[in-house]
């Protein structure tokens, strides 16, 4: 998505694993046109949000200093970010974790390991929906 000045928004990838962040970015490179920002913790994610617009967030749950659900709640309670699509990408495959993330406002819940093509398809659909184009 572009902001009112015509600048492409970034995709924020939040995971404490540098390898996982690289894998997500490689999976989404052709889908997300505005570049990427990275955060290794929940607090870094909030710092990144303060630096500029974000069109999509990929968020892990298990991170140091601030749980992913806390980041998600911050995003959903902040007027500037509440409409940003958030894909929770986590190793937690249990139903209580999934239900909690969706109840907190996650747009989608994906468990690791993930397939790059599926993650890209989900991101493409969420970005289209956020831009006003309905999901196929």
Whether 5 maps to a domain, the answer reads no
Q: What pLDDT, in 10s, does the model give residues 21-33?
A: 999 999 999 998 8
Q: Sign of the CA dihedral 90, 91, 95, 97?
A: negative
Dihedral over Cα of 79, 85, 89, 90: its sign: positive
Counted domains in the chain: 1
* CATH number of the domain to which 28 belongs: 3.40.50.2300
Q: Does the residue 1 lie in any domain?
A: no
> What's the N-to-C CA distance of the chain in angstroms?
18
pLDDT at 75 over 60: yes
Query: Token match 């994610």: residue?
Result: 45
- Structural domain includes residue 2: no
In whole angstroms, what separates CA 70 from the centre of its chain?
14
Residue 69: inside a domain: yes
Cα 45 → chain centroid: 10
Distance between CA atoms of 61 and 69, rounded to whole angstroms?
6
The answer as to whether 136 is a domain residue is no
pLDDT in tens, 26-66: 999 999 888 999 999 999 999 999 998 899 999 999 998 89
Residues whose CB falls within 8 Å of the CB of residue 53, separated by 6 or more in sequence, listed in order: 1, 3, 7, 9, 10
Range of the domain at 65: 10-130
| pLDDT tens-digit readout, 80-126 | 999 999 999 999 999 999 999 999 999 999 999 999 999 999 999 99
Asked if residue 80 belongs to a domain, the reply is: yes
In a domain, 33, yes or no: yes
Q: Flag whether 135 is in a domain.
A: no
pTM confidence score:
0.91
């Amino acid at each position: 998505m572009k902001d009112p000045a015509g600048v492409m928004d970034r995709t924020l990838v939040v995971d404490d694993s540098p390898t996982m962040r690289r894998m997500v970015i490689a999976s989404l490179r052709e889908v997300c046109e505005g570049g990427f920002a990275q955060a290794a913790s929940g607090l870094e994610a909030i710092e990144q949000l303060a630096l500029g617009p974000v069109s999509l967030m990929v968020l892990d749950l298990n991170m140091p200093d601030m749980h992913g659900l806390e980041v998600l709640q911050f995003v959903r309670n902040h007027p500037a970010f509440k409409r940003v699509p958030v894909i929770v990408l986590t190793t937690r495959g249990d139903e209580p974790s999934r239900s909690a993330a969706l109840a907190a406002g996650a747009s989608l819940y994906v468990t690791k390991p993930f397939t790059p093509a599926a993650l890209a398809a989900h991101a493409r659909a969420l970005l289209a929906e956020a831009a006003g184009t309905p999901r196929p």
